[in-house]
């Protein structure tokens, strides 16, 4: 019985379609991630400027209050209230300084994700390139070898991609980290 030829043309089309559609989606993912990075960077810049300005104004305000307290007699309850407000402002400033470190962590995570997206795009390109090497005139064994090589190449590429993207941010929230003195 004569064997039917393998549908190599269809297989090449499928691999090319997977590669093309995948790459198109990844381009969009990368663009969104880049936009997110820019927005977060812009937000932290504005937050930092406002934070510094508010802190400077509060510091000057405190100096004015100190001068007034040196000249005028304040009731003890007023002095206590001002002291409590100063402590409260100090605590809130500390919380804000801790919270504003979010951009350092998110940008590291975004950079890692963008590198993974780029790596995945390269793998998809490899899929299409290998697919193009197959020809309907090839023998069954040759086609099997092409597919095996393609599978191996994807495995190696994926492994290398993961290996080059070590996770450096494990924080799940903005709780302050541990301190170890050696």
Partner 1 sequence: MAKTILAVDDSGSLRQMVAFSLKAAGYDVVQAVDGQDGLNKAKEKTVDLVLTDQNMPIMDGLTLIKNLRALGSYKSVPILMLTTESSDEMKAKGKAAGANGWLVKPFDPKRLIEVVQKVIGS
Residue ranges in contact with partner 1 by CB under 8 A: 44-45, 48, 52, 55, 93-94, 97-105, 107-108, 168-171, 174-182
CB of 164 to partner 1, least distance (A): 13
Nearer Cβ to partner 1 (114/147): 114
- Residue 2 burial by Cβ neighbours in a 10 Å radius (0-12, 13-18, 19+): exposed
Q: How far is the CB of 105 from partner 1 (least distance, A)?
A: 6
For residue 88, give both structure tokens: 């409260």
Question: In Å, what is the CA distance from 173 to each residue of 81, 170, 177?
Answer: 33, 9, 10
Minimum Å distance from CB 41 to partner 1? 8
Nearer to partner 1, 104 or 133 (CB): 104
| Residue with smaller CB distance to partner 1, 52 or 156 | 52
What DSSP line would sit under 147-160, residue for residue? HHHHHHHHHHHHHH
| Residue 127 CB coordination number (10 Å) | 21
Q: How far is the CB of 86 from partner 1 (least distance, A)?
A: 14
């Amino acid at each position: 019985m004569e064997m039917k030829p393998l549908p190599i043309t269809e297989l090449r089309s499928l691999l090319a379609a997977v590669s093309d559609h995948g790459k198109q989606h990844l381009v969009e993912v990368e663009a969104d991630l880049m936009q997110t990075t820019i927005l977060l960077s812009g937000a932290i810049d504005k937050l930092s400027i406002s934070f510094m300005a508010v802190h400077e104004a509060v510091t000057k305000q405190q100096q004015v209050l100190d001068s007034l307290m040196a000249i005028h007699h304040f009731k003890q309850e007023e002095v206590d209230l001002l002291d409590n407000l100063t402590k409260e402002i100090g605590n809130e400033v500390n919380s804000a300084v801790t919270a504003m470190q979010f951009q350092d962590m998110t940008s590291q995570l975004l950079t890692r994700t963008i590198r993974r997206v780029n790596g995945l795009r390269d793998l998809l390109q490899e899929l299409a390139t290998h697919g193009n090497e197959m020809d309907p005139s090839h023998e069954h064994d040759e086609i099997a070898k092409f597919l095996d090589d393609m599978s191996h190449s994807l495995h190696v590429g994926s492994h290398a991609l993961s290996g080059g993207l070590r996770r450096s941010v494990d924080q799940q929230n903005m709780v302050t980290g541990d301190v170890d003195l050696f």
